[in-house]
Structure 1
Amino acid sequence: MHDDATLTVGRASRALKERILPAVHAASIPFDVAAHELPGEPIPPTNGLQLEFEAYEVGTPWGPPWGTTWFRLRGTVPQHWAGRQIELVVDLGFDVSRTGFQCEALIYRPDGTPLKAVNPQNQHAVLLEEAAGGEEIELFLEAAANPEIHGSRGFIPTYEGDVLTAHREPLYVTRRMDLALFEEDTHELALDIEVLLDLAQQLPDGRRRHRILQALDDALDVLDLQDIPGTAAAARAELTEVLASPSEASAHTISAVGHAHIDSAWLWPVRETIRKVARTTTSMAELIDRTEDFVYGMSSAQQYAWIKEHRPEVWERIREAVAAGRFLPLGGMWVESDVVMPTGEAIVRQFSQGQRFFEREFGVRCRGVWLPDSFGYSPALPQLMVRAGFDWFFTQKISWNQVNVFPHHTFEWEGIDGSRILSHFPPMDTYNSELSGEELAKATAKFRESRRASGSIAPVGYGDGGGGTTREMVGRAQRLADLEGSPTVRWEHPDEFYDRAREEVPEPPVWVGELYLEIHRATLTSQHKTKQGNRRSEHLLMEAELWASTAAVGAGAEYPYDELDELWQMTLLHQFHDILPGTSIAWVHREAQETYEHIRARTERIIHDALTALVGTGDVPVEANPTPFSADGLPAHGASPVPEAGSDAVLLTETKDGGFELRNALVSVTITPEGHVSSAVDLASGRECVAPGQEAGVLQLHQDFPNKWDAWDVDRFYRNRVTELREASSLSAEVTDTGGAVVTVDRSFSASTLQQRLILEPDSRVLRFEQSTDWQETEKFLKASFPLDVRAEHTAAETQFGFHRRVTHSNTSWEAAKFETSMHRFVLAEEPGFGVALVNDSIYGYDVTRDVVDADVTTTVRLSLLRAPRFPDPETDQGVQTHVYGMVIGAGVAEATRAGIEMNMPRRRLNGSQGFAPLVRCEGEGLVISAVKLADDRSGDLVVRVYESLGRRAEGTITVNAPVAGVREVSLIEDNLTDVGTSAPVRLRPFEVRTLRFSLG
């Protein structure tokens, strides 16, 4: 940059910051302020307006952490302000260097009408567009004193993340609560200078840049810094020519959509999110009213539902704006969920609950899935999106990769079944765009499909904690709509962008497989009880639907539609991408565990009531089996008498060195005196599962202090230091009443203790580990290691409706980056003819390494059990934690799938007066039933979902034990696709998911 240019930029920047922006509201008078600090939780606004208020002096501390203070403001418009725009200006004690994560407020008029929100970057509200003079103004502010958990000092452990442990001293000091004149010319001049400054600093050295710099100098020469409002119009006139110069025909096009990515919980509890949504949507409705072309997009049906329930006065404004096409429901999901850990059924319900809400309330369906900030994307997701009726996908999170740069911005994403969906990542790499010059230049320079595609998307507005788009951003967009040297900016529905992209790039590049995020890998492990509650809730709800459907069809019982919807919605909310990943404050996870217990109790009652309706009352032992296998000897979704323990009991023998051998008809397992597995033999083949000279089930403890994001990240160097927990404080063994054998081992390390029960049952290939850990560690990572005598080129890890293969080597940087990966109920290490699987009830993370023992390659798989990060919850996972996992000795995909489902959906045994036949039977190798439920439209039709689990083509038949009048194939959200007839033959491609709807006669 030339010296003259440097001087101009410095001159304009200082004048803008120190003189022009403060002059937008230079004339002001303070309100008379009174306040009422609530002693506990927030109250409805109608109650807040009726509080008794006491005099309050601006400049006084207010607001203990998580507290609410209601302020009442009263003032009179001076007569000499007649004809001018009058605004409220509020500074609650904001840190203006940050966009959020602190105090904020919603402004109400005396009649309870919400006016607008105020936050650090949006401190005004329009009161009168043209004052008459003498108006009496009364306003109420519902101010939230949310602590800065993530402050300017970085990620520092704090106990303010829970109202139960936070201190009670005031956090903030108000600076300003004024009635102010709005100087429109000054405001517009500030935007003119800001946009031109940004552009000049991004342009190459040339005539356009120098013309802008000269115009800025000319404007500042005209501007009287002692009378900015009086000279702003003249200064603006000096900028007219450079602002009117049109953009090039080939300029990159920015499809802007107003946005405020509001985390449904994160550094604040769910109850505060409800208020954040109310504040943001009120501001966005107000901005829509004051503009002609601005559009605002918001995802998450849950957030709309909160507003409908808790803020009806805001809800009506949203409904009107949606009807006008200015407020855009996006995403079609209940929340912006994690999409790595939830089951396939949970993802389906995210879609079905979301789309049902949007259609019911607004008469619209979302065409695309909007997930800007989730921590990686499952390879099963493309099929689920396509089969739910979506035709596009949006995210930007992959731009956070630590090592590898993703090669596309507009592309097709192909999933495990071959389904493809048009996808887009914004090249400006943010979902919180301010339309800055730097962002716009990056979008132009980095867009990888620019040879064909004309533009990209920009979500515009302050996010994470909400806030949304500001009038300043709208003002920038107006100037950037057609400005030489800049991309062109237009407000546009994402649907329109994707339609144009599809035409411009008819054969886009293709990305096959998972979209792995090379950061935030520890989200697969943090906050174990939250993950455990999620897994149990998902499976209990699927089981509750099965038994309730069976009871409704077979016994005439009432199907609990409303209750199941409510329980699913609770579960789906807690799959939000900062709750299920374990990255929220302590308050969020404390409440999540309470909610999961609530879900457990209610689903168990639904199951109990349904089974009682089916078996009656009596003393006949009945076994109810929810495991959804086909053609494998299991009664699919049915019942059978409980077998007695027989002569095939496990043989338990003590070894010479004080360990134990466990043997049944299928496998032999040797346990060392330290409680580790030194041998696990498949008796039919004679194959040993444990790598030579190694032991399986060894617990390993790592130091775990990532570079930045404690609860989110585990960095590769954690492997450099490991302690193996080899010593046992006690070891014992016994035979169980079921004919099985159990070895119990107790361990202690540092301040923690744990107990493991290693269990082998008759006729089972699964060595089961039941582990209880009193976890008292800090910044540690606990793994369970299984060195396997298997030369596996890949692992097969279960994902939604199938599995995903990952190589076990690290030949390239892409493979090396995947040093911690995801699974659902199993991970399988297999060579041709033999494999070993690890199954679990609540574990999502694992890692794999290759080793050479006696010139033979072995495979070590380690399960990720517990972490102990200190931010944002300094007590993460402290206390008693339970895990159940198992080693499947001699397994392929079918055995791994079966063992994983059985571990998560065990058979139920109860007494009644009779048994009952299965409602649904499925025949066909590899076919797995995922859901049996009654249709969402409450017609009484039966919906059955089935998928191919082995990764190959399959054929089979689904039979319903009831009169069937007709069968239709439907989408995942139960839209009609094709008539099938009166029977249900099934032909599936590898990993294909099909949903059938049976009309019962």
Structure 2
Amino acid sequence: MKLYLDRCRRFWRRCEPDLFIESIPVRAEFARTAEPVPFDERLKLEYKPIEIGEDWGEAWDSAWFHLQADLPEAWAGREIAMQLNLSGESLIFNNDGTPMFALTGNSVINANYTKDICQFPKSFQLGGRLDLYVEAAANSLFGVFMDEEPHRLIEKPEGYFPGKVKAMKIGLFNRELWQMRLDFEMLLLYFDTLPENDYRRRKLLHAMNEAINLYADNPANAAKARGPLQEMLRLPALASALTVTAVGHAHIDTGWLWPVRETIRKCARTFSNQLDMIEKYPGYVFGASQAQHYAFVKEHYPSLYEKIKARVADGSWEIQGGMWVEADCNLTSGESLVRQFLHGKNFFMDEFGFDVKNLWLPDVFGYSAALPQIIRKSGCNYFLTQKISWNQFNEFPHNTFIWEGIDGTEVLTHFPPENTYNAFVSPTELVPAQNRFKEADVLDEFLSLFGIGDGGGGPKEEFIEHALRLGNMEGMPKVRLGRADAFFERLAKHSDKLYHWVGELYLEMHRGTLTTQARTKRNNRKLEQLLAATEFICSLAPRESYPAEALDKAWKKLLINQFHDIIPGSSITKVYEVTEKEHAELFKVCEKLIADALETIGSADENAVSLINTLPYAYNAPVELPASWAGCAVTDGCGNEFKVQVEDGKVYAQGEIPADSVVVLRRGAPQEQPVLETRRETVLENELVRYEFNAAGELVRGFDKEAGREILRDGEKGNVFSLYVDRPNTFEAWDVDIFYDQEERTGAEIKSISDVVSGPVRSSVKLVFAIGNSEIRQEVSLRAGSKRLDFATEVEWHEVRRMLRVLFPVDVMTSEAAFDIQYGYVKRPTHGNTSWDSAKFEVVGHRYVDFSERGYGVAILNDCKYGHRTNQGNLDLCLLRSPKYPDWNADQGRQVFTYALLPHTGELAVSNVMHEAAVLNRAPIAAPGVAVQVQAPFQVLSGTSTLEVLKKAEKSDDLVIRFVETRGGADRIVLKTNLENVKLVETNLVEWTSEAEYEFDGGNCLELAFKPFELRTFKVVKK
């Protein structure tokens, strides 16, 4: 049998070159450019001839090729194809500049990811002469060639790519031979799925060998050779075979191993190919997500965009996924996730009149337990991913199930059992998927996403032909081309038969993405906070001056950089060069919008500083005032005096700034300033707490005076730095492996400790450490009236494949820790009792992680970190990593962040942890020399649910306010407004619905009830 099987495999490969009955060479000239040049400007370039085998560019170069050939008269009316392989990716245009076809000459992943033959459809009239322009990119589908574990002495760490002409010919296409090879391939793959002693193997082998005999080494016999193959293909599937809805798909990473610049062209290549497939195969459906990608095509390829709109209208093109991009769901804030839906769904509705009903995230690195509520309140009912199949330790127990979030919201969820979004519609994929489908006892259908993905492309002709052959084939599930939305609607009818999964969908992999590319993560966190503050302040100004367009663009720029390979830190250098530039621009945009708003709501006053607290919590941390205020009394508008401390030339003031309010500080007469106390004893202390440091800069004791108890475990130390060897088995930037703490670690050595400086506002000490090849500088401070110990940290980071962590061993008895997530928190075990528990050795937390026992707890807060380990009573924060792939320069240089230790009385839900975490992350907006003359329009008088958003509505001049219950319990708030003749109309997160109405009473107050972790949004409308 092996001898005949080898014959079959060799035959299938051997006859591929005969796909051209006859061919002629194509003449070519090219013009090389460093950056892409638009179609309309291609004729301005200088072209020169090029032949097969010659080089045309290096990594990330672009080029325009002009292809010409005179076709023989005998070819008229016959099927023509072109073979073009320029090594990288190519996009073929017609004469009016519309992209028509795309080709990919190289893939480092799989031969199925290449495409170098363009089968011209009947509608594409050559007219006896080939005359086309082709845009080429010197990169493969997956970027350029890079070593995935580069040695420290590597010469080209950012990769290389030889742009070389490998094939250029045009000829008569032998479709019968092409079809025969596809028949043959299906039987070969079917053969591979069968047990070794299965009788069908012998039948298949006989049919294939009979076809070879009939072919007789003559391409003209291809139709005859198909006879015995077709007999086997026509054998019907079992009556009990499952049904597969096969959706054409092309997952396109918005940025990854290529810059976003290249993604724009990947969208054009992919979408033009799929329009070609739709034309060639009636009944074929292609689906694509990510509104940003459609926006790219609309801007850069308008004629292609119009063709897409026509196909969306006729149903052959399916819009999928409600988000602006397929965003990371670990690191992105709650409000950013809302805006992903807000902008994504509004784009699709405005442009296509289409309401997307699913969240489509096949490749994201874990899914927050806050997502189900956000999904449903954004008008989506379904969720799709397959990424949890990548788990390292535990197999997820379901493929189709009801996912329940922290607030109890449920979402129908499907994991395609092929465990890929890059399927080829192959028996070797579909047979295991059918057997793997865990709900096969109650459901008879699952989804398949087929097509070239990650780098785009989508299904080739061959993949669709596979699907057509597998529609009713023995031994296979029944494959039907169709739409995902229709599949989900059918699935929903059986939802009562499905199991529930409660809580997060934790991916047991890619834990390093919680830390890698720290600057990107920090800027994202700061901008999430700043954009919310900017909207709040702009909402205080007259509505006609609200900068809706500028804020829309700003949010979309932030959202694109939350793509699931950008913010996690798994992209190349070129991506982060652009991201850092765009983040810097966004800071400037927000500053300008705030300044413009202040001009309309304030007046110049050199003796005033306006502080706008946009948080739903009172702000009582120190604020910095102009240096010229040194030595002067400082009061607020009510005459309350603020404490003032002048230190290192900076003026710090402290007093209470109420939630959602504006306080105008006044500079008073000069007054005697308190003398700052300095001492060598490294103790930071106030009336509530005492912290003691040793000569090594470690926290050796923390005593909570209010509670009368120690904060650290007896004999152990806090603020202990460890530098670990960080060499995961694979995926350097992505992964932290469970064994990282088994290798020898390096501690920090103290270089200097300053005197402690104490004043009426705060006390502080400065520490400098050396660790590895890096330096850590910290200002540790304790403010008056607070237990929160802040560690403002600056690191000069020069490590290679090392990970920096800081540890606090707290004296709290608990088996679970609470982690801040989007608009709520989730609890996770602090032990490894089960494989599911131990797999969570590195987990995500946003602004705080808390250990609480009955009546007491300790939290660690941060302003831009996400990776935590909480085993055995340790609060362990991951600060920095230094992988070398795919970004050789990842995280090198200056890093800035703050973390804080916060002991508290009461458990988390009744403590000040959430308050202090919010204060650490968003200071009031200070306006020196301006006296703001308005107040915020809403105030929460009672209750613990928080006002998170104040903005203008997307489609009207109404204000929108958003509240959330963050403590996990039912709550009632009393809301007061200073606006006249308004009412609240509840709406969903994308602001499309008008639901219950709420009237303010005579005192301009109303009461709102909240369920645990409930998120509610209201339009503020005129009565």
Give the TM bin, normalised by the shorter chain: over 0.9
Q: 1:218, 1:85 → 2: CA distance? A: 28
Q: 1:806, 1:867 → 2: CA distance? A: 24
Over the aligned positions, Cα root-mean-square deviation in angstroms equals 2.5
Q: 1:138, 1:213 → 2: CA distance? A: 45
Q: 1:170, 1:442 → 2: CA distance? A: 36
Q: 1:305-348 deviations in whole A, cap 9, x for unaligned?
A: 00001111221121111111111110010000001111110000
SS of residue matched to 2:995: strand
Q: 1:445-496 deviations in whole A, cap 9, x for unaligned?
A: 1000000111211111011111111000010111111112111111111111
Q: 1:621, 1:129 → 2: CA distance? A: 72
In the alignment, structure 1 residue 680 sits paired with structure 2 residue 671: no
SS of residue matched to 1:404: coil
Return the match for 1:799 from 821, 837, 840: 821
SS of residue matched to 2:662: strand
1:557–1:613 Cα contact (<8 Å) kept = no
- Which letter maps to 1:14? R
Shift of 1:982: 1.7
- Which letter maps to 2:19? V
Structure 1 residues 404 and 521, CA gap change in structure 2 (3 angstroms) = same
Q: 1:253, 1:508 → 2: CA distance? A: 18
Identity percentage of aligned residues: 36
Q: 2:102, 2:999 → 1: CA distance? A: 57
2:608–2:666 Cα contact (<8 Å) kept = no
SS of residue matched to 2:850: strand
1:650–1:662 Cα contact (<8 Å) kept = no
In the alignment, structure 1 residue 542 sits paired with structure 2 residue 529: no
Shift of 1:519: 0.6
SS of residue matched to 1:605: helix
Q: 1:826, 1:677 → 2: CA distance? A: 20
- Which letter maps to 2:162? L
Structure 1 residues 294 and 647, CA gap change in structure 2 (3 angstroms) = farther
Counting only pairs closer than 5 Å after superposition, residues 344-363 of structure 1 correspond to structure 2 as: 344-363=334-353
1:372–1:394 Cα contact (<8 Å) kept = yes
- Specify the alignment match of 2:210 in structure 1: 218
Q: 1:116, 1:36 → 2: CA distance? A: 20
Counting only pairs closer than 5 Å after superposition, residues 635-646 of structure 1 correspond to structure 2 as: 635-642=658-665
- Specify the alignment match of 2:625 in structure 1: none
Shift of 1:615: 2.7
Structure 1 residues 627 and 529, CA gap change in structure 2 (3 angstroms) = same
- Specify the alignment match of 1:104 in structure 2: 89
Return the match for 1:928 from 927, 946, 964: 946
Structure 1 residues 826 and 166, CA gap change in structure 2 (3 angstroms) = closer
Counting only pairs closer than 5 Å after superposition, residues 270-419 of structure 1 correspond to structure 2 as: 270-419=260-409
- Which letter maps to 1:416? I
Q: 2:186, 2:709 → 1: CA distance? A: 71
- Which letter maps to 2:468? Q
Structure 1 residues 831 and 650, CA gap change in structure 2 (3 angstroms) = farther
Q: 2:980, 2:124 → 1: CA distance? A: 73
Q: 1:381, 1:822 → 2: CA distance? A: 14
In the alignment, structure 1 residue 236 sits paired with structure 2 residue 212: no
Q: 2:80, 2:978 → 1: CA distance? A: 71
- Which letter maps to 1:639? V
Return the match for 2:877 from 860, 863, 880: 863
TM-score norm. by structure 1 comes to 0.93
- Specify the alignment match of 1:30 in structure 2: 25
Structure 1 unmatched ranges of 5 or more: 94-102, 851-858
- Which letter maps to 1:107? I
Counting only pairs closer than 5 Å after superposition, residues 675-714 of structure 1 correspond to structure 2 as: 675-714=697-736
Q: 1:932-990 deviations in whole A, cap 9, x for unaligned?
A: 111111x2211111111111111112222211432111111112242223234221111
1:964–1:982 Cα contact (<8 Å) kept = no
2:608–2:667 Cα contact (<8 Å) kept = no
- Specify the alignment match of 1:731 in structure 2: 753
2:858–2:902 Cα contact (<8 Å) kept = yes
- Specify the alignment match of 2:549 in structure 1: 562
Shift of 1:629: 2.9
Return the match for 1:9 from 1, 5, 11: 5
Counting only pairs closer than 5 Å after superposition, residues 118-133 of structure 1 correspond to structure 2 as: 118-120=103-105, 121-127=114-120, 129=122
Structure 1 residues 42 and 914, CA gap change in structure 2 (3 angstroms) = closer
Structure 1 residues 131 and 82, CA gap change in structure 2 (3 angstroms) = farther
Q: 1:747-773 deviations in whole A, cap 9, x for unaligned?
A: 123321120100111112211111110
Structure 1 residues 651 and 808, CA gap change in structure 2 (3 angstroms) = farther
Q: 1:54-108 deviations in whole A, cap 9, x for unaligned?
A: 1111110121110001111100111222331011111223xxxxxxxxx101011
- Specify the alignment match of 2:628 in structure 1: none
2:692–2:699 Cα contact (<8 Å) kept = yes
Shift of 1:213: 2.5
Counting only pairs closer than 5 Å after superposition, residues 432-831 of structure 1 correspond to structure 2 as: 432-552=422-542, 558-618=545-605, 619-629=607-617, 635-642=658-665, 654=679, 659-735=681-757, 739-831=761-853
- Which letter maps to 2:32? E
Which deviates more from structure 2 when the two are superposed, residues 132-141 or residues 825-834?
132-141
SS of residue matched to 1:74: strand
1:376–1:398 Cα contact (<8 Å) kept = yes
Structure 1 residues 213 and 698, CA gap change in structure 2 (3 angstroms) = same
Shift of 1:523: 0.2
Shift of 1:219: 1.2
- Which letter maps to 2:27? D
SS of residue matched to 2:277: helix
1:74–1:137 Cα contact (<8 Å) kept = yes
**Count of aligned positions:** 967
Shift of 1:696: 1.1
Structure 1 residues 587 and 371, CA gap change in structure 2 (3 angstroms) = same
- Specify the alignment match of 1:136 in structure 2: 129
- Which letter maps to 1:678? V
Structure 1 residues 588 and 363, CA gap change in structure 2 (3 angstroms) = same
In the alignment, structure 1 residue 887 sits paired with structure 2 residue 887: no
Q: 2:123, 2:969 → 1: CA distance? A: 71
- Specify the alignment match of 1:191 in structure 2: 182
Shift of 1:207: 4.8
Q: 1:221, 1:57 → 2: CA distance? A: 39
- Specify the alignment match of 1:981 in structure 2: 998
Q: 1:911-936 deviations in whole A, cap 9, x for unaligned?
A: 43454322211233321111111111
Return the match for 2:42 from 45, 48, 70: 48
Which deviates more from structure 2 when the two are superposed, residues 953-962 or residues 864-873?
953-962
1:630–1:927 Cα contact (<8 Å) kept = no
Q: 1:217, 1:985 → 2: CA distance? A: 80
Structure 1 residues 251 and 674, CA gap change in structure 2 (3 angstroms) = same
SS of residue matched to 1:550: coil
- Specify the alignment match of 2:937 in structure 1: 919
Structure 2 unmatched ranges of 5 or more: 106-113, 621-655, 1001-1005
1:638–1:916 Cα contact (<8 Å) kept = no
Shift of 1:685: 1.1
- Specify the alignment match of 1:967 in structure 2: 984
SS of residue matched to 1:565: helix
Structure 1 residues 791 and 951, CA gap change in structure 2 (3 angstroms) = same
1:330–1:368 Cα contact (<8 Å) kept = yes
2:723–2:771 Cα contact (<8 Å) kept = no
Shift of 1:722: 4.6
Q: 2:422, 2:257 → 1: CA distance? A: 17
